[in-house]
Amino acid sequence: MEENWRKALTVLGAAPSFDLACIGTSIHGLGAFTFEGLACLACADVVYYYPPSTTHYEIMKLINNNLINLHDTLYVRGTAFEAAYDSIVNDVIGTLKSGRKIAYAVQGSPAFHCGTAVRLHRLAKQHGFSSILVSGVSSFELLSAELSEHYDITSIQIYSVSRVVEATVAIDTRAPCLLFDLGRYALPAVRETASTFLGAKISVLAERLRATYPPSHEILLMHVTKNGSCCSIRTNPTDIEKALTHLNAGLTMFLPALRTP
């Protein structure tokens, strides 16, 4: 195993230099790690990780055995969102101050709808540590690849559900739209299932969509399955509330452009 890592580092030219590396891991399986990401994971003294499955966790342990499973420690189901994120940031920064090199591994790209990674990256630099963001295959690439076969997404909009509901951004119906972070907006706590969506919040979102699009406008509810494939359920503004209660809490909503005569 060590010899394999030496070969990988030879390909890269040198071992990556960092105090903190926020690393994106593939969101749709274990086959799309970058060389840079693997090298950072292998070189770290401690790896913080959100394993989506037991298999992911065991394979990550083969890369680096000094692994902290955040699902078992600081990101426990039912924890309040902000409290969980604050605990993670405090723990990682504390470990960083102890002199250990840290890899903070998230699914997707760390700068793409992953506020904790960006927060850690900036905070580490404020404390005088070197920090890097290592991109991964994010949900944006996965969804774009899935959608491009049937839709024109060259002018796509990307919004947080919360921002749309708060009306701090306005959807342009002439262009396709991706709405992320539904779970963060509508779940009562960390890692809950879609069956626990807060009904009042879903209703507010549904009303916003009904005020923006015609009742029969197509909406795709997209989520990544455990085997790494992408699944889509079709609905519309009229039926959106019913459809949302039976799906993955981590889903993304895609709304095609509104066709004009």
Q: Which residues, including other chains, have CB under 8 Å from residue 85's CB and lie 6 or more apart?
A: 115, 116, 119
Rounded to whole angstroms, the Cα distance separating 252 from 160 reads 10
Mean pLDDT for all residues in the chain: 88
Q: Are 185 and 118 in contact (CB under 8 A)?
A: no
Structure tokens at 45: 């003294």
Which of 93, 113, 137 marks a domain boundary? 137
Task: For residues 53 and 70, state if they share a domain.
Answer: yes
Task: For residues 130 and 71, state if they share a domain.
Answer: yes
Task: For residues 182 and 95, state if they share a domain.
Answer: no
Question: How does residue 2 score in pLDDT terms, banded at 50, 70 and 90?
Answer: low
Model pLDDT, residue 95: 97
In a domain, 260, yes or no: no
Model pLDDT, residue 237: 96
Q: Which domain, by its residues, includes 36?
A: 2-137
Average pLDDT over residues 21-40: 80
Rounded to whole angstroms, the Cα distance separating 230 from 224 reads 5
In a domain, 222, yes or no: yes
pLDDT tens-digit map of 94-151: 999 999 999 999 988 888 878 899 999 999 999 999 999 998 877 777 788 889 989 8
Model pLDDT, residue 1: 47
CATH code assigned at 81: 3.40.1010.10
Which of 85, 104, 137 marks a domain boundary? 137
Task: For residues 67 and 166, state if they share a domain.
Answer: no
Which of 97, 118, 137 marks a domain boundary? 137
pLDDT tens-digit map of 175-200: 999 999 898 899 999 988 888 889 99
Please report, in angstroms and rounded to a whole number, the separation of the first and last CA atoms in the chain: 62
DSSP the chain: -HHHHHHHHHHHSS----SEEEEEE-TT-SS---HHHHHHHHH-SEEEE--SSHHHHHHHHHH-S-EEETTTTTS-TT--HHHHHHHHHHHHHHHHHTT--EEEEEES-TTSS-HHHHHHHHHHHHTT--EEEE----HHHHHHHHHTTTS--TT-EEEEHHHHHHTSS---TTS-EEEE-HHHHH-SSTT--GGG--HHHHHHHHHHHHHHS-TT--EEEEEE-TTS-EEEEEE-TTTHHHHHTTS-TT-EEEEPPPP--
Task: For residues 7 and 132, state if they share a domain.
Answer: yes
Amino acid letter, residue 97: K
Number of domains observed in the structure of the chain: 2
Model pLDDT, residue 112: 80
